[in-house]
Structure 1
Amino acid sequence: MSRLPSPAARPVLVAGATGFIGRRLVPALIDAGHDVQAMTRRPDRYDGPGTAVGADIDDPDALFAALDGCAAAYYLVHSLDRGDFVARDAAAAEAFGLAAASAGVQRIVYLGGLGDEQDDLSPHLRSRQEVEGLLATGGVPVTTLRAGIVIGHGGASWEMIRSVVERIPALAVPRWALTRTQPIALADVVRYLVGVLDLDDQQSHTFDIGGAEVLRYVDVLSRVSALEGRPSIVVPVPVPSTRLAALLAGQALPLITGVDGRTIRSLIASMKNEVVVRDDSIRRVVPFEPMGYDEAVLAALGERARARRAS
């Protein structure tokens, strides 16, 4: 795979610049020497780095205007908190891919979800993989990074884990607690996203990304408890995961975690699927040692503490 010798002169657009990943990615791209256009529906309220550009994923004309003149575009958009998220995300991805092609964008970079395509994937994970193909509708090469749980302050999966551990000392979970997953630190996700931007072979690529450890979900929960010095009991029980998802996504858990109930249901339904790195070729494209789970958790807890002190 060839690489550009230096950051491109044309700007890079980040769709989803104000989201969990986007607000960390934009400054990292700027630090790497890129001119960044931060796409947002409310540019007058944007106070982050880069140049704010107003566009809505549902407005093709605005999308074209935002993408026009950009060398590449990051797609970090999803609507998991909507009941019709599968259809909405499919339509949005196709529209973005077509607009990017019309605007002359040379590459789209997308953060998707891990999961074996041959597995009976949850609607959430199946949708994330469907989006990969739809972004390529216009013929622009798409670089996809597939990740599992991203450990970082403000991320829905992480906040659900942290809040459950801190507020529910004894938790009964279904057999998916023994399913394997490969969490990755937010900082490592951003590092991979920046690192793949300068691929210049005019081909689409799909890379699995993950942290240094493969864990069971029961370990994901119990190790947070241990790091925080909290007594916690996590017991796998033979309860159907769909039933538990409905129970947990009722009124209590959204209040405890601050995560939308629909999002909680989708995330829990995805925990039946093993999400681990099966192809580590990304390690040769963007070579570095990813964080271990404990280090990632401590970084997320530290960022939360700093944010609370600043508020």
Structure 2
Amino acid sequence: MTTRQVLVTGATGYIGGRLVPRLLADGFTVRVLARSPQKLTDVPWAPDVEIVQGDLHDADSVRDAMRGIDIVYYLVHSMRASGDFEEEESDAARTVAEAAEAAGVSRIVYLGALHPDGEKLSRHLRSRVAVGRILLASGVPTIVFQAGVVIGSGSASFEMIRHLTEVLPYMPAPKWVRNRIQPIAIRDVLFYLRAAADLPPEVNRAFDIGGPDILRYGQMMNGYAVEAGLRQRPIASLPVFTPWLASQWVNLVTPIPRSLAVPIIESLQYDCVVQETDIDGVIPPPEGGLTGYRKAVRLALAKMRDGAVETSWRNSSVDGAPSDPLPSEPDWAGHTVYTDVRERASTANPASVWRVIEGIGGERGWYSFPLAWALRGWADKLVGGVGLTRGRLDPDRLQTGDAVDWWRVERLERGSRLRLRAEMRVPGRAWLELSVEPGEQGSGSIYHQRAIFFPQGLPGRLYWLSILPFHGIIFSGMVNRIVLEAEAETQAEAEAEAANAEQPEG
């Protein structure tokens, strides 16, 4: 039997990043199309797939990616809160549809959005419906799954429910908390996506999919509270909460940035429930049935406790955040560039220093002036940025493309160098680079720290000058605390080894 070739778009996202290893486990040969392949450098399945660089708006790169492909998974969707993303998404869908038909692809699988009929949809829901229609009209057998709120560890919808419930003892809420929603567990979404690869060619239509429970949003929050061991929250529906105002509220009290909160909240303005169950006649439910909401929450919480979250909304691109990598230093000529460079020799071994570097951010913080970092994080939140509350996915280990508070891991040379690109709202582009090398004569280590800022016009220059007085406190504090932390770890290791050596054998 010939191994089937699969192309996955959106493999750097929440759904795609979980689907790829499952396709590999089932024997498919997988190719992924990524605009930024470096984001996949450290994922565990990277060696087992073919990674090609390309953009869905570039017809040539899409055609190249389609060669020899049997099944295409279309798992991309812009979560931007501004701009003409509707036309851009339709253009990308048309590019994929035309390339798939020309390449003789046997099936397209698209994950769209559950939506009511006869309503004036939000721009994001309208765009997803339009993409589905373009793919269905491609001439290639296509299945469109229309899903609502996805519940799983790391999903944006689940994280919004979790943080709203945990942070607020009392919930003043928009009137949409009384709307009916049919959530679906991430494991069931993946089940349907995988099963779609085996469908006969005559299946060419959209299907609603959802879990077994129909709930109001307020019930979902209190269902989470029960599973998390919290008391249920009183919820008051307030008509003054417009979608825009609600997104500001979510931005402030949860890690979800405003750019992501807006499309999520806009989609909650309607009753979003399954209107037909025709999918059962095409793909029978999984063994044991679909996962109920409370069980889905329980499974997500267990994954979080075990540190086994595979993918997260945190690693999605942020609307408006700089995405260009740090230029090589020869390219700096002719540009205004501000830097803050520091280094410190240390008795700590390089491995200890690296562990401190790789564990920076999140709950451990930034090793200097916590109040200043917190205030800067809140300031970023107030202007719609990600702030500090986004945290990090794994407390000890990073991957290229990971989010770390308001930073993004741009380059990772494990054991020696970490470069972070700022995604906070600043008038320019900023990076923070932390590195370690062995000390002279191989004794101890040397810790290097470099902040780099490319200002944008006069506001960028004024911004750098305004924070310059704080650099002596913040950046020097970082150097001192990171080195002290690493030295304490090295000392503890030496004492443990000495204690073990003193113990008599057997």
- One-letter amino acid of the structure 2 residue matched with residue 43 of structure 1: P
- One-letter amino acid of the structure 1 residue matched with residue 208 of structure 2: D
Kept after mapping to 1: 8 A contact 2:59/2:95: yes
Distance 1:127 1:58 in 2: 16
When residues 143 and 171 of structure 1 are mapped into structure 2, their CA distance, relative to the original with a 3 A threshold, is same
Q: TM-score normalized by structure 2?
A: 0.57
- Look up the match of 2:191: 191
- One-letter amino acid of the structure 2 residue matched with residue 265 of structure 1: V
Kept after mapping to 1: 8 A contact 2:101/2:138: yes
Alpha-carbon distance, 1:89 to partner: 1.7
263-272 or 132-141: bigger deviation: 132-141
- One-letter amino acid of the structure 2 residue matched with residue 20 of structure 1: Y
Show CA shifts across 1:132-186 (max 9, x none): 0122453222200110000012222111111111112211112211111111110
Does residue 1:167 correspond to 2:167, yes or no?
A: yes
Moved over 4 A (4+): 308-311
- Look up the match of 1:261: 258
Distance 1:256 1:88 in 2: 31
Show CA shifts across 1:45-81 (max 9, x none): 4244222222111211111111111001000101112
Does residue 1:282 correspond to 2:276, yes or no?
A: no
SS at structure 2 position matched to 1:197? helix
- Look up the match of 2:231: 231
Alpha-carbon distance, 1:43 to partner: 2.6
Distance 2:302 2:251 in 1: 23
SS at structure 2 position matched to 1:111? strand
Alpha-carbon distance, 1:44 to partner: 4.3
- One-letter amino acid of the structure 2 residue matched with residue 24 of structure 1: R
Larger RCO, structures 1/2 (Cα 8 Å, 6+ apart): 1
189-198 or 272-281: bigger deviation: 272-281
When residues 156 and 195 of structure 1 are mapped into structure 2, their CA distance, relative to the original with a 3 A threshold, is same
Show CA shifts across 1:245-269 (max 9, x none): 323333x633543323122122112
Which residues in structure 2 correspond to 1:208-247 (within 5 Å)?
Answer: 208-241=208-241, 243=242, 245-247=243-245
Which residues in structure 2 correspond to 1:194-209 (within 5 Å)?
Answer: 194-209=194-209
Which residues in structure 2 correspond to 1:1-311 (within 5 Å)?
Answer: 9-46=3-40, 47-48=42-43, 49=45, 50-84=49-83, 85-241=85-241, 243=242, 245-250=243-248, 253-254=250-251, 256-287=253-284, 288=286, 289-307=289-307, 308=394, 311=397
Alpha-carbon distance, 1:309 to partner: 6.2
Distance 2:27 2:270 in 1: 38
C-alpha RMSD of matched pairs (Å): 2.0
Kept after mapping to 1: 8 A contact 2:247/2:265: no
- One-letter amino acid of the structure 2 residue matched with residue 225 of structure 1: A
Gaps of 5+ in 2: 308-393, 398-506
- One-letter amino acid of the structure 1 residue matched with residue 185 of structure 2: A
Alpha-carbon distance, 1:10 to partner: 3.5
Kept after mapping to 1: 8 A contact 2:148/2:182: yes
- One-letter amino acid of the structure 1 residue matched with residue 68 of structure 2: G
Distance 2:72 2:29 in 1: 12
Gaps of 5+ in 1: 1-5
- One-letter amino acid of the structure 1 residue matched with residue 164 of structure 2: V
Distance 2:290 2:185 in 1: 8
Kept after mapping to 2: 8 A contact 1:170/1:232: no
- One-letter amino acid of the structure 1 residue matched with residue 255 of structure 2: G
Distance 1:160 1:238 in 2: 19
SS at structure 1 position matched to 2:101? helix
Distance 1:258 1:59 in 2: 33
Show CA shifts across 1:221-250 (max 9, x none): 111111112234242324245x2x323333
- One-letter amino acid of the structure 1 residue matched with residue 10 of structure 2: G
Distance 2:173 2:194 in 1: 37
Q: TM-score normalized by structure 1?
A: 0.90
Distance 2:274 2:71 in 1: 26
Distance 2:163 2:77 in 1: 23
Kept after mapping to 2: 8 A contact 1:143/1:204: yes
Alpha-carbon distance, 1:116 to partner: 2.1
The number of residues matched between the two structures is: 302
- One-letter amino acid of the structure 1 residue matched with residue 70 of structure 2: A
* Bigger Cα Rg: 2
Alpha-carbon distance, 1:204 to partner: 1.1
SS at structure 2 position matched to 1:13? strand
- One-letter amino acid of the structure 1 residue matched with residue 279 of structure 2: I
Distance 1:151 1:128 in 2: 19
